[in-house]
Amino acid sequence: MEAKKIRSTFIEFFQSKQHQYVPSSPIVVKNDPTLMFTNAGMNQFKDAFLGNEIAKYSRVANSQKCLRVSGKHNDLEEVGVDTYHHTMFEMLGNWSFGDYFKKEAIEWAWELLTEVYQLPKDRLYVSVFQGDEGDKLEKDVEAAELWSKIVPEDRIILGSKKDNFWEMGDTGPCGPCSEIHVDLRSEAEIAQVPGRDLVNNDHPQVIEIWNLVFMQFNRLADGSLKELPAKHVDTGMGFERLVRAIQFKSSNYDTDLFTPFLDAIAKKSGKTYGLDEQTDIAFRVIVDHIRAISFTIADGQIPSNNKAGYVIRRILRRAVRYGYTFLGLQQPFLFELAPLIATYFGDIFPEVRQQQEFIAKVIMEEEASFLRTLDHGLKMLESIKSELNSKNEKVITGKTAFELYDTFGFPLDLTSLIARENGFSVDEKGFAEEMEKQKTRSRAASEQETGDWVLVNEDTGVEFIGYDFTEAYSHIIKHRTITDKKGDRYQLVLDRTPFYAESGGQAGDTGWLISDSEKIRVIDTKKENDLIVHFVEKLPAHPEVRFSSEVDREKRQLTMNNHSATHLLQSALKEVLGDHIQQRGSLVNENLLRFDFSHFGKMSEDEIAKVEEIVNAKVRENIELQEQRNVPIEEAKKMGATALFGEKYGDFVRVITFQKDFSVELCGGTHVPFTSQIGLFKITSEGSISAGVRRIEAITAKAAANYLREQENLVKEIQDLLKNPKDVKKAIESLLQERNDLRKEIETLHLEKASGVKNELLKQFIEKDGINTLIAQVELPNAESLKKLAYELKNEVANAFVILAAKIEDKPQVAVILEDALVVSKGLNAGQIVRELAKEIQGGGGGQPFFATAGGKDLAGLEKVVAKAKEMFL
RNA sequence: GGGGGAUUAGCUCAGUUGGCUAGAGCACUACGCUGGCAGUGUAGGGGUCAUCGGUUCGAAUCCGAUAUUCUCCA
């Protein structure tokens, strides 16, 4: 059975059991400070399990894109070494929210695996929670009994809390789980060691494929367990492993999920997969990583130098590194795999097909940039090698290797490899020590302590009323304190709030919380999952009373102008540049708007002007805002509403329309009632932020008017300075031309003057012992001309020895120059001489043996310098 | 958020402990030669050494701040 068919069969199977199919949520997580990437199928249902939200469907099934780059086996550096762990993988899952429980979950799982997929029953093992004394938990008898009806006893294994009890976090929903393992070894191997001995033993051929979690408890803060009123089922099956089991391969990479990619790499590199362990690892690393990279870019995460973007960059670079070192791929090659991703995953995950070209472009640029980094590092390594050679040393210190890695991004494994090839070694222990130091430093800097929420009023849920009101009466539900190096910060949650929390690029509201006795400043408002968190300057002394919450209206108003303008801008860009324009990011606050979008190439001045004009025309048209809340997502899409890749939308969305054939967007932000309120729209900059992504910054309303006035004033001031010429540009051009001409003229004059001085000086040379000596006092405009004069005298007179005492801008300076040959033959040293003479002007100096200069403080000393020099050398 | 680098000609970069008239290669201009594969010879133009401040007789070079950018860690 083909992988595609296996996936669709899973979904159809659960649909036949009344499950609702929901699409995968984005692989990149937003609005959750604790998580960067989706790492399990249940992520998008977290709120349902926590009870923050009522599940829309009681039965759900899907295939979720996941990314794991840390953990026991999924440590990035481990992926590819074995044949069954991945960075990006798909998790098939079925869920019950307070609906069916263990019986159905177990029976359906067994039915699907053995009857639909036809996996041999004698290759499957199941595990059941054995109980835990510490938690006073009994064995999961219910699950054990259900299994024993369909599976022989000797294939049921009891597991400890570590393997068979699942918890979401330190607190929250949890429960026992049952895992299904499959034995994929050959008959001969099975005859030697029974499969049940290898379950949960890290055997590469005896692997877990499905985990059924039965959530029946809630873990409280004190560590105790409480039975949940509504019980849930959460299952997760690794798709790649399932495909491998059904296709009966010894490696995930031998399934049709990966073979097309392996073939493409083989063709590109001329190497064959399956011949050599080292190149095989490189093959696996590349075909694994290209998936992770493509999917995250499709969901809007571009490689960058911090956070999630940095993770992607590291994954991409690891793939490039393996290709570079073991497959001889020294030109960008990963990007050529993007079309294959589109072919093989475009049906289930349309975003990778729609953005195929963009993904390839981003990858290619990133590859090219890393190859440049490598090149740079190779050069540095070259010079390190020659330095070691000159000192006759054979070890590259940990510090040096770490510097290469830390500062220049040159990977340790490459340093080691090249070192070995050249008969050097690397002190890897020293490297690890340096790395540890770096980690400790970072940790210390980012240490923060998040206090527990303190409940002050009954938790009745949070109501956001900011679309309709900017002030309200509110009660504080809970508050907490966050402590880090910079001190304490305070957060609180209100039962009803007009404060808009930062999201969709729109900055969070600021304002005040006012009670009879207190007035508290709200500095910022942010979302944490679906919770609206207010950041306040201090905690109220009486948090339980009623507060009047007031949003800073002017700031909100200015922000709204910019947000609505952003919508108009997006539509205008599409009109001018084409339909390929996709939002890649946006920032809207009271000062400006910033809009990042996919577009290849710089916008011309004309295009920018056109876009500005369209937006301003729409502003003048005074279009009325059409705001629709709770529109079913399908209907919104039919309306042609613009949605974002990588954004998680619920089933009901808010649609913001400014003229239904111009701008229709899914948006949670606040907007102006009529576009004329925006006043004026002005683009202030257009530039690139990464491959294929452009950024526009713009301002509106008063800020735009001020900006234009400033520009106008500037031109006026320039005109004034130039005495109001007809054509300012021409006036400046001729001014610049004139300046350049004058500059050259001055230079020539200086030269002429200097040559006059020079001619005079040439007459004053005195010959003694075959040396032509000149000792003189001169006056020159700058140090440069003194140097020049000295060199010229030396060049024009054979065996010259020149000492010049110069007055330069009212400061004394001495220059000594002599024919190179005299340094050796007569033992003369300009540096020494100039130092000796400089004593007379209270200064010091130095230089090379044949030319040296000195400066000082005592102008009157110049005559003494001349006298002293004559005494010494004549 | 923290650490470490970088910023020198249009581009890619040298520039050893402060003093080598700030250099190379490519690109550019002019002239000459030339039947290709980066054609070649000669001459030439082009630099506020990121910005601001400090130390010094003297700073591309040392110190501090700012900006931009790369990189590693969290």
State, as a whole number of angstroms, the distance between the CA of A741 and the C1' of B31.
26
pLDDT (tens digit per residue) in A529-548: 778 999 998 899 999 999 99
A125 located within any domain: yes
pLDDT, position A119:
96
Task: Considering all nucleic acid strands, name the nucleotide whose C1' atom is nearest to the C-alpha of residue A446.
Answer: B1
State, as a whole number of angstroms, the distance between the CA of A789 and the C1' of B52.
33
The sign of the CA dihedral A69, A72, A73, A78 is: positive
A736 located within any domain: no
Final residue before a domain boundary, out of A230, A257, A284: A257
- Reported as a pLDDT band with limits 50, 70 and 90, residue A90 is very high
Mean pLDDT of A407-435: 89
A318 located within any domain: yes
Task: Considering all nucleic acid strands, name the nucleotide whose C1' atom is nearest to the C-alpha of residue A307.
Answer: B74
A741 located within any domain: no
Least confident of A81-90, A463-472, A825-834: A825-834
pLDDT, position A239:
96
Q: Which of A708, A710, A685 is nearest to A697 (CA)?
A: A685
State, as a whole number of angstroms, the distance between the CA of A743 and the C1' of B38.
38
- Reported as a pLDDT band with limits 50, 70 and 90, residue A732 is low
Least confident of A395-399, A564-568, A790-794: A790-794
* pLDDT over 70 percentage in chain A: 96
Least confident of A48-52, A67-71, A750-754: A750-754
pLDDT score of A449 more than 70: yes
Q: Which residues of A690-716 are buried (b: 16+ CB within 10 A; e: fewer)?
A: bbbbbbbebbbbebbeeeeeeeeeeee
A655 located within any domain: yes
Residue A775: strand, helix, or coil = strand
Residues A140, A51 share a domain: yes
Task: Considering all nucleic acid strands, name the nucleotide whose C1' atom is nearest to the C-alpha of residue A843.
Answer: B57
β-pair type (A771-780, A425-426): unpaired
Mean pLDDT of A810-836: 82
pLDDT, position A458:
83
pLDDT, position A748:
63
pLDDT (tens digit per residue) in A52-70: 778 889 999 999 999 988 7
The protein residue nearest nucleotide B71, judged by CA to C1', is A407
State, as a whole number of angstroms, the distance between the CA of A433 and the C1' of B73.
13
State, as a whole number of angstroms, the distance between the CA of A784 and the C1' of B31.
33
Mean pLDDT of A829-853: 83
* pLDDT over 90 percentage in chain A: 42
The protein residue nearest nucleotide B2, judged by CA to C1', is A442
DSSP A137: B
State, as a whole number of angstroms, the distance between the CA of A868 and the C1' of B30.
52
pLDDT, position A450:
73
pLDDT (tens digit per residue) in A236-295: 999 999 999 999 999 999 999 999 999 999 999 999 999 999 999 999 999 999 999 999
Task: Considering all nucleic acid strands, name the nucleotide whose C1' atom is nearest to the C-alpha of residue A842.
Answer: B57
Residues A462, A540 share a domain: yes
State, as a whole number of angstroms, the distance between the CA of A585 and the C1' of B26.
38
pLDDT, position A331:
84
Final residue before a domain boundary, out of A711, A728, A743: A711
User: Which nucleotides of chain B does any protein CB come within 7 A of?
Assistant: 1-5, 13-14, 19-22, 56-58, 70-74
Q: Which of A501, A461, A534 is nearest to A668 (CA)?
A: A501
Residues A209, A156 share a domain: yes
Residues A274, A245 share a domain: no
Residues A601, A620 share a domain: yes
State, as a whole number of angstroms, the distance between the CA of A53 and the C1' of B64.
55
Give the CATH number for residue A117: 3.30.930.10
Give the CATH number for residue A530: 2.40.30.130
β-pair type (A225-238, A206-219): antiparallel
pLDDT, position A788:
78
Residues A266, A249 share a domain: no
State, as a whole number of angstroms, the distance between the CA of A750 and the C1' of B21.
16
A487 located within any domain: yes
The protein residue nearest nucleotide B5, judged by CA to C1', is A407
Task: Considering all nucleic acid strands, name the nucleotide whose C1' atom is nearest to the C-alpha of residue A411.
Answer: B72
Q: Classify A273 in phi/psi space as left (phi over 0), alpha (psi -120 to 50) or beta.
A: beta
pLDDT, position A689:
73
Residues A64, A88 share a domain: yes
Task: Considering all nucleic acid strands, name the nucleotide whose C1' atom is nearest to the C-alpha of residue A447.
Answer: B74
pLDDT, position A224:
85
In the block, tokens 């049709």 appear at: A256
Give the CATH number for residue A698: 3.30.980.10
pLDDT score of A746 more than 70: no
pLDDT (tens digit per residue) in A761-809: 888 888 888 888 889 888 877 777 788 788 878 878 888 888 988 887 7
State, as a whole number of angstroms, the distance between the CA of A755 and the C1' of B43.
24
Give the CATH number for residue A857: 3.10.310.40
Distances (CA, A) of A342 to A290, A336, A350, A643, A848: 12, 11, 8, 20, 66
- Reported as a pLDDT band with limits 50, 70 and 90, residue A339 is very high
Q: Which of A27, A32, A37 is nearest to A63 (CA)?
A: A27
pLDDT, position A733:
62
Mean pLDDT of A149-168: 92
Domain count, chain A: 5
DSSP A19: P
Q: What is the Cα–Cα distance from A615 to A568, expressed in whole angstroms?
A: 6
State, as a whole number of angstroms, the distance between the CA of A428 and the C1' of B59.
39
State, as a whole number of angstroms, the distance between the CA of A851 and the C1' of B14.
23
pLDDT score of A144 more than 70: yes
Final residue before a domain boundary, out of A257, A292, A319: A257
A119 located within any domain: yes
Q: What is the Cα–Cα distance from A114 to A94, expressed in whole angstroms?
A: 17
Most confident of A46-55, A190-199, A367-376: A190-199
Residues A773, A658 share a domain: no
Residues A47, A154 share a domain: yes
Residues A294, A191 share a domain: no
The domain of A531 spans: 449-551
A726 located within any domain: no
Residues A159, A60 share a domain: yes
Q: What is the Cα–Cα distance from A44 to A760, expressed in whole angstroms?
A: 90
pLDDT score of A146 more than 80: yes
What ipTM was reported for this prediction? 0.81
**Residue A282 or residue A599, greater confidence:** A282
pLDDT score of A647 more than 80: no
**Mean pLDDT taken over chain A:** 87
Task: Considering all nucleic acid strands, name the nucleotide whose C1' atom is nearest to the C-alpha of residue A795.
Answer: B21
Q: Which helix (H) or strand (E) holds A45?
A: none
Residues A177, A139 share a domain: yes
